[in-house]
Chain A
Amino acid sequence: MSPESRESLDGWEIVIGLEVHCELATKTKLFCGCANMFGDEPNTNVCPVCLGLPGSLPVLNEKAVELALRLGQALHCTAKPGVFARKNYFYPDMPKDYQVSQYDMPTNVDGFLDLPSGTRVGIERAHIEEDTGKNKHVGGDGRIHGAEYSLIDYNRAGVPLVEIVSRPDLRGSEQAREYVSELRDILLATEVSDARMEEGSMRVDANVSMRRDGDTEFGTRCEIKNLNSLRSLGRAIEYEARRQVDLIELGERVRQETRHWDEGAGRTRAGRSKEEAEDYRYFPEPDLVPLVPEDDFVAAISASMPRLPSDRRERLASVANIAPGDLRVVIAVARGLDDLALAAVDAGGDASRVLNHVEHNLAVDGASSIDPAALATLTRMEVDGALTATQAKTVLAELVNGATDPVAVAASKGFEAMDESALEAVVDGVIAANPDTWAKFAGGEGKAGGFLTGQVMKVTGGQADGKAVNAILQRRKGSSAR
C-alpha cells in the first residue's frame, strides 16, 4: 500500500512541532545598514559586512531586537539575556560560512499560542538570527539536484529573522495550519513581519512523528522543509503521516532525517545527505556582546502591544455571548471587523445577525468604516421583520458605500415588509401555476421547495422574506397531506 492510498489513520496520532522563520520588518539588515528589501536587483543591497568580507564586523540592529521582543511578548514568552553564537557550516549562500544565531541563550523562551479552536501550543523559544542569500540553480530542471551550476544573490544575506520553535503540541494537519495562520495574524497585528509565505518572508518547517493512540512516548520524527503555503503544509503532513505509519506497520524503522516537500509530485523526499555529519560547532560570537533586555524596555513593549487576535476573539465572543472558537468570531477578527461588530452590538444590534453580516456580506473594502449604529439599526429592522435577509443585504451595501441611515435607504428602495395575507396569496398563486413541482414538494422532495420559493421571490421582486415563504409552504403541505 502506498502512502497516497492509505484511507485512514485510525488508531494513530500525528505529533507535530513547527519551526517558523519570519523576516523582521526592519528597514535594514540585522548587522549592517544595507536595505532589507525583497525583489531588488541581485547583489545591490550588499556591503563588506553582509558579504562577510575579511575585516568586517557586525553591529546589531536595535529595531530587530525590539521587533523580536515584541513578538516574544505577544507569544507570552519570557525575555531573557541573549547571547549570539556562530553556527558553523559551509554553504555558498552564507557569506561567512557560519550563521549568527542564538543557541543556548535565546532572547525569548517559554511562551504559548492559543489556537482559535482552543488548543494551547507551547512555544519553546523565539530567537534572533540572520538569513542566508539565495541560490538560483541553473540547468537540469531548476532544482538543486541535477543543476549544472548555481548563481548566488546576497541581497537576502543578513536579513533579520526570528525563528519560532513550537513544542510538539500540534495533533494533525488542521491544527498545524491553524497555528501558522494564527501566528501570521499575530505577526501582522504586531507589525513584526509582513509574513508572506509566498515571498518567503515566512517559512515553515514541520517536525512530524507518529504514535499509536494512547502512547505517551514520541516516535522518531522527520523534519519536512520547503513548505511554501498553508496548503503545502497540510498536504505534506498528511502524506508524511501516512508514509511513517506504512513504514511502522511494515515493521520498518522511521529514519530521523530531513525531507523535502515536492508540491508537484505531492510527496516528501529524503534530502541528499550531506558529506559531513552535522556538527555545527556552536560557540559564542566574539564579535557581538550579550543582549540583555532591560526590564523597562520590555515593559514598554508589552504596554504598547496592540490587542492580539486571541484577546480580540475573546472579547467579541463574550459580548456576542458565543464561543471564542465560533467560526464567525474567528472570521470577524481575521478581517479586522471585530471593532465594528463590538460597537454594533454595543449600540443595540443583534449579535448573531451582526456576525452573520460580517461573515457573509462584509468581505469588501470599506467594510470597517461602516457606522456601527447604522449596522445595529439594520439588524434590529431584520429582527422586527421590517427587512428580509435579501433586503438587508442590499441596504448594507449602501451602508458600505457611505449611507448612514438604514431606515431611509430601505424606504428609498421601497422595501416594506409584505403583510402575511398578501404573501399567502402570492404563494398560492405559485403553487397553482406549478402543479408538478408542488406535487414533488408535497411528496418530500426538498429541492422542489427551493424552486417554489424562488418563484415567489421573482413575483415579489425579492421583497418576500424567505423564511416566511417557507413557513407558508410547509403549512400548505401539511394541510394537503391531511
Chain B
Amino acid sequence: MSGATDTALSIAASVRSGERSARDVVDEHLRRIDERDGELHAFNLVLSDAAHADAARIDERVARGDDPGPLAGVPVALKDNFCTRGVPTTCSSKILEGWCPPYDATAVERLRAAGAIVIGKTNLDEFAMGSSTENSAFGPTRNPHDPSRVPGGSSGGSAAAVAAGFAPLAFGSDTGGSIRQPAALCGVVGVKPTYGLVSRYGLVAFASSLDQIGPFSATVADAALALELIGGHDPCDTTSIPEPPPVIRASLDGGVDGLRVGVISEFLEAEGLAPDVAARTRQAADALDRAGAKVEDVSIPSTMYGLSAYYLIAPAEASSNLARYDGVRYGLRVDAPTTAEMNAVTRTAGFGAEVKRRIMLGTYALSAGYYDAYYGKALRVRTLILRDFERAYESFDLLLGPTAPATAFAFGAKADPLAMYLNDVFTIPSNLAGHPAVSVPFGRGDDGLPIGVQVLAPAMAEATMFRAAAALEAVAPE
C-alpha cells in the first residue's frame, strides 16, 4: 500500500544506530498523514508537537549513547479508547469530548518506555461498538484501498493508519473482532492476544471479560515485537495473567513443519461467507500443508452459538461499564433541574444510536426475570465453546478460518444492526474463549480488495500461532 515500506523493526534499527533521526521519521509520517488523512480520517487527533518533543528526546538519548529502546523512534497510532495522560481520549463519543485522562494506560506506558512515539489517536466506532467505524461521532474512517468502502471496525482508524503508511504500528482493542476484522479489510496484520496477556488498565472498557488490546502492523514480525513489548503481567489489572508472557520472536521463523492445523468446517460452511474468501482460506490451508503442516478439517459446532452469546454478554457488560457517563465527574453535561434528569438528558445527547441500542439490549439481558434466560445462558454457552475448543486442541495445535465473511463493504451497506453483527461471526469465538487469534493478509478478493485469514490458538500459545502467521505471510499471494 502507499508508502508502507518502513517496518517498525527497520525504523528502530536505523534510529538506534544513528543512521536516521527520530525527528526525520516523525516528519515523514506526519507528512503522509498531512497528505491523505483529510480524506481517510484515520485519526481523531494528530499529536505533532508531542511527537516532535518525544523524537527530540529519543535523538538526544542516541547522541548520548543511551539505549533508546527497542521501538526507538517508531511512530505508533493509538485507538482513541486508550487513556493518554493529558491528551484527549474520546472513544469517538460526544459524551467524552474534551476529556483528558490523568494517566496513561499500561500498554501506552510500556510503548513509551520502549522508545515508541505516539503520533496520534485513531478513530473508532463509538466506544468500540461496531464493525465499520461508521458509528464514530466524528464521522467514519475510509478504507485506504478504496475510500468508498469501510475500513472495518471498531478499530478502523488504527487499521487504516497502518495500511496508509501513517504509522508502522498501531494499536486497537478487540472485543468481538475489532482488531482482526479491520485488519482483514485493510490488508494488514492484526492480533487479538490471549485474554489477560496485555493489561487492560487504561483501556476504556466496552465488555470487560472480552476486551483485549493488540497490535496492527504491516508485517508479522512487527506485530510479534509489539506484542512482546506490551504483553506481560500488570498488577493494576486483576485479570492479567501472572505468568511470563510467551516468547514469540525467537521462534518466528520456525516454520510449520509437523504442526497440526484444523480448518474449522463450520466457518467454511457458514451462510454468508463470500466464495472468494472461502477460496482464499482453502488456499491458505493448502499453503500450510505444503509447508509441512498436517492440515485437516475439524468441526467445532458450538462456535455457531457464539454470535448470539456474544450479543448478550457484551451489551450486558457494556450497559454497566457505560453507566458512569452521567455528567457528574467528567465529559459532557447537559443541564437539567434534577440530577436524574441531568443524567438522562446528558446520556441521551452524548451517546449515538448504536451505543444506546447496546446499552438497552444489555440492560434487558440483565434485568429481573430475564437474567437466567439471556445473560446466564450466554455464560453457559461460553463454557460449551471453551470445551469444544479444548477438545479440538487435543488433536490440533492451531485452527484456521476466514477472518471476515467478505471484503470491505460500502458505507451504509449494513444499516440493519443484525446484518452488521454477522460480520463478527468468525472472530467472536476467540473472544468468548479468551484465546489468541491473528488475521494475516492473504491475497485479494474478486473486487481486488484485501482478504485476511485467521489463525486461532489455545491460551498463551502465541508463539506457535505466530509461526503459522509468518509462514502464511511468506507465501501470501499479492
A191 to chain B, nearest CB (A): 27
Segment among B41-49, B217-225, B367-375 that sits at the interface with chain A: B367-375
- Residues of A within 8 A of B (CB-CB), count: 30
B204 interfacial by beta-carbon distance below 8 Å:
yes
Within 8 A of B (CB), among A285-309: 286-289
A287-B329 in contact (CB<8A): no
Chain A residues near B200: list those with CB within 8 A.
55, 57
B351 to chain A, nearest CB (A): 14
B317 is contacted by which of A54, A90, A96, A286 (Cβ under 8 Å)? A286
A286-B209 in contact (CB<8A): yes
Distance between Cα atoms of A343 and B235 in the complex (Å)? 50
The prevalent SS among residues of B at the interface is loop
Distance between Cα atoms of A11 and B325 in the complex (Å)? 53
A59 interfacial by beta-carbon distance below 8 Å:
yes
A55 is contacted by which of B202, B207, B363, B368 (Cβ under 8 Å)? B202
Distance between Cα atoms of A14 and B222 in the complex (Å)? 72
A-B contacts counted at CB < 8 A amount to 99
| Contacts known (A90-B326, A90-B340, A150-B339); A59 close to B239, Cβ less than 8 A | no
Chain B residues near A288: list those with CB within 8 A.
238
The prevalent SS among residues of A at the interface is loop
B323-A275 in contact (CB<8A): no
| Contacts known (A53-B330, A97-B323, A283-B320); A88 close to B102, Cβ less than 8 A | no
Category for how many chain B residues contact A: 35 or more
Within 8 A of A (CB), among B331-368: 339-340, 343, 363, 366-368
B199 to chain A, nearest CB (A): 8
B454 to chain A, nearest CB (A): 25
B252 interfacial by beta-carbon distance below 8 Å:
no
| Contacts known (A283-B320, A286-B317); A92 close to B326, Cβ less than 8 A | yes
Closest Cβ neighbor of A149 among chain B residues:
B339
> Interface digits, B362-397 against A, CB 8 Å rule (1 contact, 0 not)?
010011100100010000000000000000000000
| Contacts known (A281-B367, A287-B238); A53 close to B340, Cβ less than 8 A | no
B101-A88 in contact (CB<8A): no
| Contacts known (A59-B238, A90-B340); A52 close to B329, Cβ less than 8 A | yes
B105-A58 in contact (CB<8A): no
Chain A residues near B204: list those with CB within 8 A.
54-55
A12 interfacial by beta-carbon distance below 8 Å:
no
Closest Cβ neighbor of A287 among chain B residues:
B208
B329-A95 in contact (CB<8A): yes
A55-B238 in contact (CB<8A): no
A52-B324 in contact (CB<8A): yes
Within 8 A of A (CB), among B139-176: none
Distance between Cα atoms of A282 and B368 in the complex (Å)? 9
Distance between Cα atoms of A90 and B330 in the complex (Å)? 16
Distance between Cα atoms of A196 and B179 in the complex (Å)? 52
A289-B239 in contact (CB<8A): yes
A53-B102 in contact (CB<8A): yes
A439 interfacial by beta-carbon distance below 8 Å:
no
| Contacts known (A92-B326, A152-B328, A289-B238); A56 close to B366, Cβ less than 8 A | no
The 29 sampled A-B contact pairs (Cβ below 8 Å) are: A51-B329, A52-B324, A52-B329, A53-B83, A54-B83, A54-B89, A54-B91, A55-B81, A57-B200, A58-B238, A59-B236, A59-B237, A88-B319, A96-B324, A97-B323, A97-B324, A275-B340, A279-B367, A281-B363, A281-B371, A283-B317, A283-B320, A283-B366, A286-B208, A286-B209, A286-B239, A286-B317, A287-B238, A287-B239
Chain B positions near chain A (C-beta within 8 angstroms): 81-83, 89, 91, 96, 99, 101-103, 105, 200-205, 207-209, 235-239, 316-317, 319-320, 323-324, 326, 328-330, 339-340, 343, 363, 366-368, 371, 375
